[in-house]
Amino acid sequence: MKSNRRSFLRFSALALPLTRINQVFAKSKAVNKPLVVSTWNSGQISNAAAWPVLEKGGKALDAVEQAAIAIENDINCCVGLGGNPDRDGHVTLDACLMDDKFNCGSVAFVEKVKHPISLARKLMETTPHVFLAGEGAQQFAIASGFKLESGKLSPDAEKAYKEWLKKADYKPVINIERQQAHPKGHGPFAPERFEDGSFNHDTMGTIALDASGNLSGMCTTSGMGFKMRGRIGDSPIIGSGLYVDNEVGAATGSGQGEEVIRICGTHTIVELMRNGATPAEACKKAIERIIKINPEKAKTFQVGFIAINKQGEIGAYSIQKGFNYTVTEQGGKGKVINSESYFS
């Protein structure tokens, strides 16, 4: 009788879907919350803006929007109107966000809007649509009361663009981080710039778990520097640059967008976590999937992912060395962590 009961229990456990088993086990662990994680060491700026919202028990969605606004405001960072222009000299911005109920909003190829993240949120909250691009997105911004601003390239972006124009070589290579600091210094995030002033990344992603245990995320970018006019990368594409499933986890990333789109990068990571992978394992598997497509080509570009799960576990992985991310949890002080990478 006893053994029958035991085998019944064993077989019913096997009959449970893996996600359910994960949820059952997860319940026994203390959840690490609230928590916010952003790509790169400039994530210190984003996390510092997100944390006060989370600390007060606010929503993860509000926290990630604040994270994006802060970084879009920062002329010395890499995103927003001061970021690298396209090859014709125009700054075109992409951004998206996603909440804990599969609500999402994205805008792409938008010009003269200082906070594309807030435009994406407006789209999400006031229309039946999830993705708006170009002129239409700008019209929607005007209709929604956003002011158009010409913006100004940051001095470094301007210098880098002028430098690029000398050869105007259309060979986008992205995010191969330099290991040494900028000799002249450019504020606290100096090592993120090349000597000619150009950035080595143009994208900020933030994912957060709030005190109520709900997840949200955002991704905002000026896109790959000196890109073809109209080119859109992974960052505003739900499932590529950002994905959130409140039952499982959230992921975002930075790097060569085309390669992330090919594998639906962040959706892949969330699905791997659904099937039992930790955030770190899921990021690593997604990166390995990109590398497997063309291992030789993968030596020439960077992709870095970050992920969190419902329990507040954190993970990251990148192709090349040099990717880092910022974690803010209890105590509220942002900690920059160097990601593990495939190539050393």
What letter would DSSP give residue 23?
H
Q: Is 201 in the site for ligand SD4 (CB under 6 A)?
A: yes
Q: Is 175 in the site for ligand SD4 (CB under 6 A)?
A: yes
Say which of 203, 206, 252, 326 is annotated catalytic.
203
In the complex with ligand SD4, which residue's Cβ is closer, 224 or 273?
224
Q: Which residues in 244-273 contact ligand SD4 (CB under 6 A)?
A: 254-257
CA distances from 26 to 11, 30, 199, 248, 313 (A): 20, 8, 40, 11, 11
Closest alpha carbon to 72 in 64, 83, 84, 80 = 80
| Residue 261, beta-bridge partner list | none
The SS3 assignment for 297 reads: helix
Which amino acid type is present at position 186? Answer: H
Q: Judged by CB under 6 A, which stretch of 13-21, 129-137, 198-206, 272-280 contacts ligand SD4?
A: 198-206
Q: Is 202 in the site for ligand SD4 (CB under 6 A)?
A: yes
Is 203 assigned a catalytic role?
yes
Taking CB under 6 A as the criterion, the residue among 118, 235, 309, 320 binding ligand SD4 is 235
**C-alpha 343 chain-centroid distance:** 21
Using rule CB under 6 A, residue 240 touches ligand SD4: no
Per DSSP, 175 falls in state: -
Measured from the Cβ of residue 162, the count of other Cβ atoms closer than 10 Å reads 13
Segment 213 to 232, residues that bind ligand SD4, using CB under 6 A: 221, 223-224
Q: Which is nearer to ligand SD4, 53 or 68 (CB)?
A: 68
Asked if 156 interacts with ligand SD4 (CB under 6 A), we say no
46 binds ligand SD4 (CB under 6 A): no
Report the 10 Å Cβ neighbour count for 255: 29
Active site residues: 203
* Residues engaged in binding ligand SD4 (CB under 6 A): 174-175, 201-203, 221, 223-224, 233-235, 254-257
